[in-house]
Amino acid sequence: MEVSYGKKKEYLLIRVMSWIFLAVNAFLVVYWQEVIWRRDAYEAYAWIFQKGSLFLCSVFLVFLLTGGLFLATNNLFAAVLISNLLSFALNLINYFKYDLKGEVFQFVDLALYKEGLTILGDFSIYIAPCVIIGGVFCLFRVMIAWGMSRLTKVIRNRKVRIAECAAGICLCVIFFKAAPQFYYLAEETPVIYAAAEYYRDAGVMAGFFNTLPKKAEKPQNYGKALVEETISQAPFCVEETVYPDVIFIMEESFSDIASLEGVQLSADPLELFKERQERSISGKILSPTYGGNTCQAEFEVLTGYPSFLVSGNAYTDYINGSMDSLVSLYRGNGYETYAYHPNTGAFFNRNNVYRSMGFDHITFENDFALPTERLGGWTDDASLFDNIIYDYENRDESVPFFAFAVTTQNHGGYDWEFMQDAYIDVISASGGAEKEESALHTYANLCKYTDLSLDRFINYFEEKKNPTIIVVWGDHTPNYGFFGAQPVEETVNDLEKYRDYHTTPLLIWNNYNLRQEDVGYLSAYRLGAYVAALSGLNDPYFNLLTSAECPNAIYGLAVGQDGAVTETEQFEEGVREYLDKIWLVEYDRLFGRNYYADLAKT
């Protein structure tokens, strides 16, 4: 149908106005992202002026996505509604997650939404005015788009419509495919160790895109010959083979709170734990995570693979079939293997991961043989330990026993009153606020409850004749912001502070007098290999990890056994080369041809 000149002129005017509105909308979307994230309009303005190129890059990307939706749907209202809903949902989820756990929203969280809803009721929720105002402005823009969309119903050529639709789809594809690269073109952002600090430096959109899973980079000269050469260099450094019973206890949010600067308690919550450390093998675990994301530390211990060498979440992104691990090593040496976690098996995909790793017996929250008690909404440590003892007493005594347990008792939040008899009183705390001191009081007493439960658990095995190793460490420290302490995101450039916030206590107790030793700092990915060596088990890859040359590292940082820290850019050549060896085997077994499987048998 022919369109009159007047109609064409009207159509062009409306289209121009629509694109101008999309540009203004993109500007406001990004601005309010930063206001809600930073909780302050002035700070958002300051960031825009400091990081103008990154801000404009985000505006352009929002404009690109919204414009693509506009062309594809020929509906301004639909385009603005979709883009604003996506943006505000990102803002809202990021706001709540950071406020409750001290962690920013990452891509992997999309696969864990059910788990997030499960634990949401354990936290107190506060909605700041900036969130409400941002929501009102979002609604206002959508209403304007709805009004303008009613003026855009102009007859047009079908060929033009098809061309616009195709162009719109292309723009949307470009947005999702090329978005991360735009930020590198806009401004080279520094290497930052915490996701929240990346959000703070580069903005919400750049921060989120930085958490997208990245394709694993194939090692240079990757092939069977190189894998064979690498594992042949691994030293054989194991203890005498005695096949002890081995129990790993990964304690949720376990840390030496008494050593935190500005905190004074009536007693040390980990007094008994520290007494055992002095008589056993002990040290400090360098955890890949802080305040949450437990499965990353769990993945490192069970596989020996540094999580910082891959992107995303290993449990949900990479493990979908049978894989070699610490579990399969013990099982291959005749052990009966047990996994315990007093939470749902769907959390972090553990039900599938534990099967992939080859556990003989898997026990989640509804599978325990003995009744369990709860403390602050989570199964307490004493109940979990009682169930491990029950299985130990009813095991096949003709084969050695291997167990890996993940506790939940000390999970946040801590804004509830510790109703049991309080063991620890807070004398002073750096925050000073009543809520923060109350949270510190709850957490300190949870740690003391863990201390007493562990002591009783270990006492049981002291009376047993079978040689036994019990390994206890923390998956990560809690978010110290709960207690009025400065969170890691604010002090990330202080390398020693960053190291300390990623450090948890380690105890390797045994009842057959292995030795007393302080191993200093030990990366989580080296812990399983270290204990396997104590057990007398031989594995070429784990032997690489037990070598004195193997570095302790987390993202962007290496830590010496004595605690000395080195940034990525200052790694010595030997550190880089050793990490390259580790990555070669990790790539081969997770993403490559798995030449290792055949080579390790020879």
Structural contact between residues 145 and 137, judged by C-beta atoms closer than 8 angstroms: no
Q: Of 162-171, 240-249, 462-471, give the range with the top mean pLDDT.
A: 462-471
Q: Is the same domain home to 533 and 444?
A: yes
pLDDT of residue 153 exceeding 60: no
Structural contact between residues 585 and 541, judged by C-beta atoms closer than 8 angstroms: yes
Q: Of 95-109, 316-330, 552-566, give the range with the top mean pLDDT.
A: 552-566
* Final residue belonging to a domain, choices 166, 186, 210: 210
pLDDT of residue 453 exceeding 60: yes
Q: Is the same domain home to 192 and 265?
A: no
Rounded-to-integer distance, Cα 200 and Cα 578, Å: 32
> Looking at residue 470, what is its pLDDT?
98
Q: Which residue has better confidence, 117 or 441? A: 441
376-420 pLDDT, tens digit per residue, is 889 999 999 999 999 999 999 999 999 999 999 998 778 778 766
pLDDT of residue 96 exceeding 60: yes
Domain count along the chain: 2
> Looking at residue 490, what is its pLDDT?
47
Q: Is the same domain home to 191 and 262?
A: no
Residue 228 lies in a domain: no
> What mean pLDDT is predicted for residues 579-591?
91
Rounded-to-integer distance, Cα 25 and Cα 32, Å: 11
> Looking at residue 416, what is its pLDDT?
79
SS3 358: coil
Burial of 393 (0-12, 13-18, 19+ CB in 10 A): exposed
* Final residue belonging to a domain, choices 210, 226, 261: 210
Q: Where are the beta strands (DSSP E) in 197-290?
A: 245-251, 264-265, 281-286
Closest CA to 466 of 538, 533, 393: 393
Residue 41 lies in a domain: yes
Q: Is the same domain home to 63 and 109?
A: yes
Q: Is the same domain home to 137 and 253?
A: no
In this prediction the pTM is 0.76
Degrees to nearest 5, angle at CA 20 with 15 and 26: 125
Q: Is the same domain home to 182 and 321?
A: no
> Looking at residue 590, what is its pLDDT?
87
> Looking at residue 179, what is its pLDDT?
65
Q: Which residue has better confidence, 551 or 69? A: 551
Q: How many angstroms separate the Cα of 255 from the Cα of each of 49, 111, 119, 378, 503?
A: 39, 28, 21, 18, 8
Residue 155 lies in a domain: yes
pLDDT of residue 5 exceeding 50: no
Residue 235 lies in a domain: no
Structural contact between residues 534 and 469, judged by C-beta atoms closer than 8 angstroms: yes
Q: Is the same domain home to 206 and 352?
A: no
Which residues, 6+ apart, have CB-to-CB distance to 290 below 8 Å?
102, 194, 476, 477, 479, 488, 501, 502
> What mean pLDDT is predicted for residues 408-433?
75
Structural contact between residues 413 and 291, judged by C-beta atoms closer than 8 angstroms: no
Closest CA to 273 of 289, 249, 293: 249
The first and second tokens of residue 503, run together, are 């450090």
Q: Is the same domain home to 251 and 117?
A: no
Q: Is the same domain home to 177 and 271?
A: no
The first and second tokens of residue 22, run together, are 């999309």
| 49-53, 237-241, 474-478, 528-532: the lowest-pLDDT one | 237-241
Query: How many helices (DSSP H) and strands (DSSP E) are in the chain?
Result: 22, 15
214-226 pLDDT, tens digit per residue, is 677 889 889 999 9
Q: Is the same domain home to 398 and 521?
A: yes
pLDDT of residue 79 exceeding 70: yes
Rounded-to-integer distance, Cα 586 and Cα 303, Å: 9
Residue 445 lies in a domain: yes
> What mean pLDDT is predicted for residues 153-175?
69
Largest pairwise CA distance in the chain: 97
**193 pLDDT tier (thresholds 50, 70, 90):** very low
> Looking at residue 260, what is its pLDDT?
78
Residue 144 lies in a domain: yes
> Looking at residue 178, what is its pLDDT?
66
Mean per-residue pLDDT of the chain: 83
pLDDT of residue 484 exceeding 80: no
> Looking at residue 195, what is its pLDDT?
62
> Looking at residue 181, what is its pLDDT?
61
Rounded-to-integer distance, Cα 559 and Cα 150, Å: 62
pLDDT of residue 11 exceeding 80: no
Rounded-to-integer distance, Cα 57 and Cα 50, Å: 14
Degrees to nearest 5, angle at CA 195 with 94 and 575: 165
pLDDT of residue 261 exceeding 50: yes
Domain range for 498 is 245-599
Q: Which residue has better confidence, 16 or 227? A: 227
Element (H, E) at 361: strand 361-363
Which residues, 6+ apart, have CB-to-CB distance to 177 below 8 Å?
none
Q: Is the same domain home to 464 and 402?
A: yes
pLDDT of residue 240 exceeding 80: no
Q: Is the same domain home to 257 and 135?
A: no
pLDDT of residue 15 exceeding 80: no
Find the CATH number of the domain harbouring 462.
3.40.720.10
Q: How many angstroms separate the Cα of 110 from the Cα of each of 113, 116, 212, 465?
A: 6, 10, 11, 48
| 103-112, 324-333, 339-348: the lowest-pLDDT one | 103-112
Residue 264 lies in a domain: yes
* Final residue belonging to a domain, choices 186, 210, 234: 210
Q: Of 102-111, 331-340, 572-581, give the range with the top mean pLDDT.
A: 331-340
Looking at residue 300, its amino acid is: E
> Looking at residue 4, what is its pLDDT?
46
Closest CA to 323 of 544, 541, 70: 541
**191 pLDDT tier (thresholds 50, 70, 90):** very low
pLDDT of residue 154 exceeding 90: no
**1 pLDDT tier (thresholds 50, 70, 90):** very low
Half-sphere exposure of 535 (CA within 13 A, CB side): 33
Q: Which residue has better confidence, 79 or 312? A: 79
What phi and psi, each to the nearest 5 degrees, are found at residue 56? Answer: -65, -35
Residue 317 lies in a domain: yes
> Looking at residue 400, what is its pLDDT?
96
Q: Which residue has better confidence, 260 or 472? A: 472
